[in-house]
Structure 1
Amino acid sequence: MSNLSVQVSNFKRQLNRIRDDQKHEIIIESTNIIVRELKKLSSTLSSQLQFLNAISFINRRYENSPSHSEIFDNNSDYNAYVGMLSFKEELSSKLELVISKFETFRKDWEALEYKVQQQESYTDARDMLSSLISTLSDNNSEHWNKWLAIIDAEIKIEDEFLEKQKYNPSQLVNYNEFHSKSSSFKNKLKEREKTQELAQDIQRLANELADIKANFDLSDFPKEVERFFKSVDSRYETATLEHLTPEVLKWMTEHNYLKNFKIERK
């Protein structure tokens, strides 16, 4: 074989390798696009299904409560009853359609492999799944926010009343516990992944906060009494008999607080 023939043969082999490499790159890239898109949707769907479990817990928790209707009534996609959560007809049909679209996509994948990326069977399945996830997300978020609004109303306490507990000796333990649990409650609300376990934790903390709130002394005790307690509890101020005004003494006598204090000379 002449040198020219050898060179031509080598060139053809190199050209074929280049073509094969290019084809492989197209296959890899097309496949990766499908994988990336479906992996992202799969992860989001998984999160929304976990979120749905949290909503199911809320449904069971409030099924015998008047608040149940505030959370679940007037919803076009979910049925909430007897502790169960189910999809209404429109959402069920959408789910069945998604399953059907993915079955068609699977068959096309077996026949066309990476080329299915350009087929309607893939784009329809992908877009239908995305639409279903969006519907789940909207419904889950709506119920979650309504539930949180109910909880917030149950544990809400005006700052001025809460602050008074801090300077009320009989309420100091309750105040510190309320403050600690309130911080935990707020941190739970910030968690991104909504799960049944998270909903249970939030509900438990809300119940505990509501119990503490019920034990608070929310009477608006006199300003001089408040000032007396602040001076007693202050790290930077020493309470003197000047703070023990007739009004303070009367209030402490009526509320049986005299035994909680003793007098010491400076």
Structure 2
Amino acid sequence: MSTPPPTGPLVTRGSLAAELRTLGVRAGETLLVHSSLRSLGWVNGGPVAVVQALLDVLGPAGTLVVPTQSGDLSDPALWGNPPVPREWWPEIRATMPAYDPRVTPSRGVGVLPETVRTWPGALRSAHPETSFAALGAGAAAVVDGHAPDCRLGERSPLARLESAGARVLLLGAGYATCTSFHLAEYRVPSPVVEVGRPSAAGWVTVREVSITSEGFAELGADFERDRPVVRGTVGAAAARLFPVADAVAYAVRWLPVHRPRDLVAGAAPAPGGPGPRRRP
């Protein structure tokens, strides 16, 4: 059986750059990108062409930032899709490789972040589960100082991006992927949980704010309704552009009103406990 031809549209480095500029991406800015390569159409050059286009638009003074999460460096007791046999848990914990920002691959965030992570000159933050990678003039300022007990809070790149006036680009990705909303979880009452992970010293447990993207699609829809969000199309993908600070401030007000009670500090934990909903 022959493979059907691609449906397109045909997308190139040049067409992407032109459409990003039309959307409003500016030279010299810091841009946090959440993306779906497949949504763009048939990209000549794949993720490399997309990264090149983003860097073309941002220019030498700009900074490109992507999430490079590695949620599989976590307690196997919390894996759910698929789970692993209980009798495996001790050996998995004892033998799981520790996080190494140079070699640990990103998981569950798409091919574009992994392309940025391995790009010459890319820098990556130190958190073993929720790291970010950055390219460009402000890369070090974004990724430095990511505390091992602060996944997406005040001592993470998200807070650096907020204070730097960075913007978010959702490139074919929905609001469920918007990590900026997580920073708000650290500023409203949220449960604190114990999180296990591998380290150079063996298996360790740290206390972290419990985070979840549950309700983020609804939060994003309300945010887009009430706040100025630039909307457009890049290739075949729907694109959204907005400041990190706007997203965080809106989520700080929205979460205490709309989040289910079991996700608020002081309430009983949700069935199954915190942690990854699936193995990436």
- Identify the structure with the greater strand proportion: 2
TM-score by length of 2: 0.23
For the pair shown, the structure with the greater C-alpha radius of gyration is: 1
- Bigger RCO of structures 1 and 2 (CA < 8 A, at least 6 apart): 2
TM-score by length of 1: 0.24
